[in-house]
């Protein structure tokens, strides 16, 4: 048994004890982690920037509260990718420990805030979809842009406050308690509380989407009965809500699949000791969180008709500009040759 595997050393709060959490032992493991983080991180940032551009470049989408919540999700995924990749790779691959406890907890707070805001944005989107389907006639009065911005402000402030608690004193160094086996300086009770909060959010999202799908089925049956009698505009609105609800259910399914291994190992670490092998598995499973952030924009592009139309418009404009730039030198050379002939 190595010195870093003992309970006493994992409870120490010195910077030197952080080496016990660097579980990648071979060069192949480090290269694999760096490759996964770099690939998922870059794609996630580019895709979510494109989603933000598509939403805010179109007056039709940036005015809708639904797309404000999706914008919050994209922004959270961008921040999570940047902070997670930089801190994770520097810690596990380059093994940098020349920073203080406060700097590490600040980085951890940034990652926690971003991922918590991503999950909370999905919850707001689920509630927004349920309100849109269950009370369509009152939706515009109930869900205004002002209320959407207030909800997003409360969301981000709450997530930042909860994530900053270890930095403010809820850590094993200040409390002189046992540190987590997965995160340096993190108190076990704080990790348990964060896991419970995350599971509660997932449960609320699943419950909301279950009710959304139930309403969606009722609307599909209603459309089949009354489509021949008219109400074409209302039928189109219901069909759009049903499509967006199915899209967000796909997002939730990807979220659960990507986060289940991480949350499972976190929960297991609370009740039992983790071997170095399981901690290495946890390090690789953490990259699934980036995969989730990378897949979300792809689902939007494939399922949202408005974003797909905006994306096709952007591609067609780029194609026309490239075509014009290719034709302009030929036109210039033709004009020059005609002048010479004259």
User: For the residues of 284-340, what is the DSSP string, one character each?
Assistant: HHHHHHHHHHHHHHHHHHHH-HHHHHHHHHHHHHHHHHHHHHHHHHHHHHHHHHHHH
Beta bridge partners of 187: 179
pLDDT at 336: 41
Q: Does domain 24-225+239-308 have CATH number 1.20.1070.10?
A: yes
Highest mean pLDDT among 6-15, 72-81, 119-128, 229-238: 72-81
Task: With beta carbons less than 8 A apart as the criterion, state whether 173 and 185 touch.
Answer: yes
Percent of the chain's residues with pLDDT above 90:
24
Residue 159, pLDDT > 90, answer yes
pLDDT at 224: 64
pLDDT at 46: 92
Between residues 1 and 311, the one the model is more confident about: 311
Could you tell me the two tokens for 284? 């690789």
Please state at what angle helix 65-92 crosses helix 145-163, rounded to 10 degrees. Answer: 20
Q: Average pLDDT, stretch 130-144?
A: 84
- Cβ neighbours, 10 Å, residue 342: 5
pLDDT at 22: 79
The residue among 221, 211, 248, 233 whose CA lies nearest residue 131 is: 211
Q: What are phi and psi of 117, to 5 degrees?
A: -65, -35
pLDDT at 236: 56
Q: What is the pLDDT of residues 177-224, one digit of tens each?
A: 888 888 888 888 999 999 999 999 888 888 887 887 777 777 666 666
pLDDT at 328: 63
In this prediction, residue 156 has a pLDDT band, given cuts at 50, 70 and 90, of very high
Residue 338, pLDDT > 70, answer no
pLDDT at 2: 42
pLDDT at 337: 46
Q: What is the pLDDT of residues 2-25, one digit of tens each?
A: 435 444 444 556 555 677 777 787
Q: Average pLDDT, stretch 35-50?
A: 91
The residue among 106, 95, 89 whose CA lies nearest residue 283 is: 89
Residue 307, pLDDT > 50, answer yes
In this prediction, residue 256 has a pLDDT band, given cuts at 50, 70 and 90, of confident
Q: What is the pLDDT of residues 51-74, one digit of tens each?
A: 999 888 887 788 888 889 999 999
Between residues 29 and 336, the one the model is more confident about: 29
Residue 342, pLDDT > 50, answer no
Q: In the block, which residue shows the tokens 């109400």? A: 231
pLDDT at 191: 92
Task: With beta carbons less than 8 A apart as the criterion, state whether 132 and 66 touch.
Answer: yes
pTM of full prediction above 0.95: no
Highest mean pLDDT among 87-96, 180-189, 328-337: 180-189
Q: Average pLDDT, stretch 115-138?
A: 86
Residue 263, pLDDT > 70, answer yes
In this prediction, residue 1 has a pLDDT band, given cuts at 50, 70 and 90, of very low
pLDDT at 332: 46
> If DSSP codes are grouped into helix, strand and coil, which group holds residue 90?
helix
Report the C-alpha gap between 13 and 67 in whole angstroms: 43
Q: Where are the domains of the chain?
A: 24-225+239-308
Weakest mean pLDDT among 215-219, 313-317, 319-323, 330-334 = 330-334
Helix and strand counts by DSSP (H, E) for the chain: 13, 0
pLDDT at 109: 93
């Amino acid at each position: 048994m190595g010195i870093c595997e003992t309970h006493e050393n994992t409870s120490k709060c010195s910077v030197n004890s952080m080496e016990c959490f660097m579980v990648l032992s071979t060069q192949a493991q480090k290269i694999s982690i760096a490759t996964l983080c770099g690939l998922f991180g870059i794609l996630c940032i580019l895709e979510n920037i494109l989603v933000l551009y598509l939403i805010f470049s179109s007056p039709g989408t940036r005015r809708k509260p639904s797309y404000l919540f999706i914008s919050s999700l994209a922004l959270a995924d961008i921040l999570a990718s940047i902070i997670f990749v930089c801190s994770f790779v520097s810690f596990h691959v380059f093994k940098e420990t020349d920073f203080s406890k406060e700097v590490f907890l600040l980085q951890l707070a940034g990652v926690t805030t971003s991922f918590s805001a991503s999950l909370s944005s999905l919850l707001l989107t689920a509630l927004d979809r349920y309100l849109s389907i269950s009370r369509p006639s009152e939706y515009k009065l109930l869900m205004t842009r002002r209320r959407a911005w207030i909800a997003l402000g409360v969301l981000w402030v709450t997530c930042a406050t909860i994530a900053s608690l270890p930095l403010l004193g809820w850590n094993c160094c200040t409390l002189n308690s046992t540190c987590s086996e997965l995160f340096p300086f993190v108190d076990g009770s704080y990790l348990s509380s964060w896991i419970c909060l995350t599971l509660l959010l997932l449960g609320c999202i699943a419950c909301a989407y279950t009710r959304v799908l139930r309403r969606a089925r009722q609307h599909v049956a209603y459309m089949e009965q009354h489509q021949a009698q008219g109400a074409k505009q209302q039928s189109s609105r219901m069909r759009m809500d049903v499509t967006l609800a199915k899209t967000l259910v796909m997002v939730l399914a990807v979220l659960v699949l990507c986060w289940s291994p991480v949350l499972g190992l976190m929960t297991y670490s609370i009740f039992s000791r983790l071997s170095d092998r399981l901690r290495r598995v946890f390090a690789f499973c953490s990259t699934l969180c980036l995969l989730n952030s990378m897949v979300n924009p792809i689902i939007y592009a494939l399922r949202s008709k408005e974003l797909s139309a905006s994306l096709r418009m952007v591609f067609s404009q780029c194609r026309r500009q490239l075509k014009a730039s290719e034709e302009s030198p030929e036109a210039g050379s033709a004009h020059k040759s005609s002048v010479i002939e004259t």
